[in-house]
Structure 1
Amino acid sequence: MSRHSYIFDPAHFKIYLLLFISVFGDTKEEVRSKIFRKLETYRINNIFKTMNSLTEVQCCAQCLEEDSCVSTNFRTNSTSQNCNLNSMSPLEANVSIENSANWSVFYLDNDSWKLVFRLTAGGGTDTYEAWKNGVGTNNSDDCMMLYPPLCTSYYRHELLDEWGKWNIEQVKFALYENHTEAAYIIFNGTGSDFESWFSKERLLESSWADIIGTNQMLYFSIKGDSVLGRQFFIQEYYGGCPGDRGWTMAVSGIFRGCSFDKHPSYPGIVYAMNGTKSTYYSTGYGVADVLAVYVKFK
């Protein structure tokens, strides 16, 4: 059985459906949107309520009654304190989650944004090769979190290989530092392919206030500058290291001539702080832990 499976077995879906409709008065559509997904051998520490002697289904049913509940912990082979209600999902950046052999997490899989790619700083694999060809990536359950406790690979969803077959409306590019979103861009994904969405022409919204109104872009692409090894690269101007000005790059380590190209391990994820572009030498820059790409469907 997959470690990341639905709690509702298809053979028993009607029983669960009737249970939820009778208890909560939901329509079938509302119930489907509240189906829990299961992540085995993990436990979330963002707990606000603990209950005893419940089944898996009863534990999830209790979560549906609480507005602040988005996931549960359930401990098998226990008759006491076996159900925790959590205020956070395992997919959130600042969740506190740990590996725990006897526990499973059940979470509501109803977020409109779906993670399709996660790059971790210092992961050792070329960013573009990971994105395009899946080098150094894994799509297992352990790798689907932004800060996975056990996974040392990048996460890459198979959707990237069949991008055009999905009805993608928007794409989100996000950077995280210390478990907090540091910067983001939302793009128009309609009619895009798995690289063309990352372009100036498709910009919809960003935490960088000046990026949409900037006319001159030296680089705005996932492949970026292959000579200097700068990918997911958004750059306004090359002026020698002191004059380089832009918003973000994933640095591969091929070129280490500028201070922002030098990192303890690679890739390094560089971004402009303070909500605007940066002349990196004079206004400084941040170094993110995680680069993530999400999609939203029509």
Structure 2
Amino acid sequence: MSTLMCASLCGNVCGMFHHSPVTNECSTFREKSYDSGVVLSADPDWTTSYRQNHAAVEQGDWTMVFRAQKEIGVSVWDTWNNAGVHDDNPIPSDFPFACLRLADYSSCDRHFRSHILDNWVGIKEVRFSFIKENSEVAFVLFNGTDTSRDSWFSQDRILDSSWYPHLINEVTLTETGIYGHYNLQYVARRFYLFGPHNGCADDWVYTMVIDRTNEPCLDSGNWHIPPFQSMPTFYYSPTSLGRASLRTDKAYPLAQTADVLAVHVKFA
């Protein structure tokens, strides 16, 4: 059996295949090129190839529509809103596998934007999550029915979260939304679940993306959260009990940074 014949056996549910011209054996696998932790034979007589023309990045019932990598110097907001620019349907053959993963992603150098963001139809649920050291450290599950690309990120649509039921019942959130808190000269905070907001010295947060190279509250020393080398930077509350503080002299735990921001959707 030739490698080409083996490839022809890799159908719609196949993600990769393994072929040995020595033994004429062919094996196909459901794992995709972007899946992590896949270990196949290291035998030099075998060739591993990947199916590249995936229309979307799927993990079970969920489809990834956006993935952002920390501190690569590219705006999350600009990428999210860059209509007509797609990294799937199909996934380009030269798109880095690491930038499609939620593990083994240290070499990723770009964000991922799906065509689904420009065709937001039939969405049932949206899962927003932060990944750190190859594990999900925070998530919020939203009701996506009858929403637009931006309107699902709202407190009144939360179904579940890492901070359940605290986030749903939180009455002190003062600012929420993907647009977040933005000022052309000073502040760019996106994917924002924030509050209460009482000035830099008395702020609280669940999730926040700092989407520019400066942040006045951090630069002034009023926030004690981990600093960043570049943008974007992802901050989240590390406690299941609720909000995080942005200072070390408060009763709540200090907000921490994540490596990856991911948005997945489930269709109705």
TM-score (norm 1): 0.67
2:43 counterpart of 1:96: no
Task: Map 1:30-41 to 2 at 5 A.
Answer: 35-38=12-15
2:260 counterpart of 1:290: yes
Match of residue 240 from structure 1: 199
Q: How far has the Cα of 1:286 moved from its partner?
A: 1.6
The DSSP-based 3-state class of the residue aligned with 1:37 is coil
The DSSP-based 3-state class of the residue aligned with 1:212 is helix
Gaps of 5+ in 1: 9-34, 40-55, 57-73
Match of residue 67 from structure 1: none
Match of residue 7 from structure 1: 10
Match of residue 110 from structure 2: 153
Q: How far has the Cα of 1:261 moved from its partner?
A: 7.6
On the 8 A contact 1:272/1:280 being kept in 2, the answer is no
TM-score (norm 2): 0.73
Q: How many Å separate the matches in 1 of 2:152 and 2:20?
A: 44
Q: How far has the Cα of 1:223 moved from its partner?
A: 1.0
Q: How far has the Cα of 1:145 moved from its partner?
A: 2.4
Match of residue 277 from structure 1: 243
Q: How far has the Cα of 1:6 moved from its partner?
A: 9.2
On the 8 A contact 1:175/1:182 being kept in 2, the answer is yes
Q: How far has the Cα of 1:264 moved from its partner?
A: 1.3
Q: Could you say if the C-alpha distance between residues 192 and 103 of structure 1 is closer, same or farther in structure 2, counting changes exceeding 3 Å?
A: same
Q: How far has the Cα of 1:177 moved from its partner?
A: 0.4
On the 8 A contact 2:68/2:112 being kept in 1, the answer is yes
On the 8 A contact 1:241/1:281 being kept in 2, the answer is no
On the 8 A contact 1:136/1:154 being kept in 2, the answer is no
On the 8 A contact 1:125/1:136 being kept in 2, the answer is no
Task: Map 1:3-152 to 2 at 5 A.
Answer: 7-8=10-11, 35-38=12-15, 56=17, 74-75=18-19, 77=21, 79=23, 83=27, 95-96=36-37, 102-105=47-50, 111-133=60-82, 138-139=87-88, 140=91, 142=97, 143-147=99-103, 148=105, 151-152=108-109
Q: How many Å separate the matches in 2 of 1:248 and 1:202?
A: 16
Q: How far has the Cα of 1:254 moved from its partner?
A: 3.5
On the 8 A contact 2:205/2:245 being kept in 1, the answer is yes
Q: How far has the Cα of 1:257 moved from its partner?
A: 3.2
The DSSP-based 3-state class of the residue aligned with 1:174 is strand
Match of residue 5 from structure 2: none
Q: How many Å separate the matches in 1 of 2:74 and 2:22?
A: 42
The DSSP-based 3-state class of the residue aligned with 2:148 is coil
Q: How many Å separate the matches in 2 of 1:221 and 1:76?
A: 52
- 1:23-65 deviations in Å (ceiling 9; x for gaps): xxxxxxxxxxxx52325xxxxxxxxxxxxxxxx5xxxxxxxxx
2:169 counterpart of 1:213: yes
Q: Report % sequence identity.
A: 25
Q: CA RMSD in A?
A: 3.4
- 1:230-276 deviations in Å (ceiling 9; x for gaps): 11111012233331101011112342432438301211101011112
Q: How far has the Cα of 1:181 moved from its partner?
A: 0.5
On the 8 A contact 2:83/2:118 being kept in 1, the answer is no
Match of residue 192 from structure 1: 147
Structure having the higher helix fraction is 1
Match of residue 223 from structure 1: 179
| AA aligned opposite 1:205 | D
Aligned residues: 230
The DSSP-based 3-state class of the residue aligned with 1:257 is helix
Match of residue 231 from structure 2: 266
Q: How many Å separate the matches in 2 of 1:177 and 1:115?
A: 17
Gaps of 5+ in 2: 1-7, 219-223
Q: How many Å separate the matches in 1 of 2:139 and 2:199?
A: 26
- 1:95-118 deviations in Å (ceiling 9; x for gaps): 3359x9942357996711111100
Q: Could you say if the C-alpha distance between residues 124 and 248 of structure 1 is closer, same or farther in structure 2, counting changes exceeding 3 Å?
A: same
